[in-house]
Amino acid sequence: MIDASAYHPLLLPLFLLYGLETFSFYNYQLKSLDFVINRFFTKLFRTSNMHVVSDCQEQFNFVLPSVQLSRRAEKFVNKLHVD
């Protein structure tokens, strides 16, 4: 049995997305990043139902890369304006 609380749910995506908030991306590029994560969850939970996948992501506090990047980019820009 795996103790899900022992793992930080954003560790892998943060590592893979390190520094990307400084770039601008097209929508299709962001959707491509999200597709990889969604595909991982579909295989992990053996389902093709995207409602189930999004519920699982929500239960694990997993945020899609497109959302993470938009939040981090906003934070990055705000830091530039403040400094």
pLDDT tens digits, 30-81: 999 899 999 999 998 999 999 999 999 999 888 999 998 898 888 888 888 8
In terms of residue numbers, what domain contains 77?
Answer: 27-82
Contact 10, 16 (CB under 8 A): no
**What does pLDDT average to over the chain?**
82
| Structural tokens at position 60 | 């694990």
| Structural tokens at position 34 | 């999200």
Residue of 83, 70, 65 lying closest to 21 (CA atoms): 70
Residue 74: alpha-carbon gap to chain centroid: 15
Q: Is residue 67 part of a domain?
A: yes
The pLDDT tens digits for 42-53 are: 998 999 999 999
Q: Is residue 37 part of a domain?
A: yes
Q: Is residue 34 part of a domain?
A: yes
- For the chain, how many structural domains are there in total? 1
Question: Does pTM top 0.85 for this prediction?
Answer: no
| Structural tokens at position 4 | 């899900």
Q: Is residue 48 part of a domain?
A: yes
Q: Is residue 43 part of a domain?
A: yes
Residue of 54, 11, 16, 58 lying closest to 33 (CA atoms): 16
Q: Is residue 1 part of a domain?
A: no
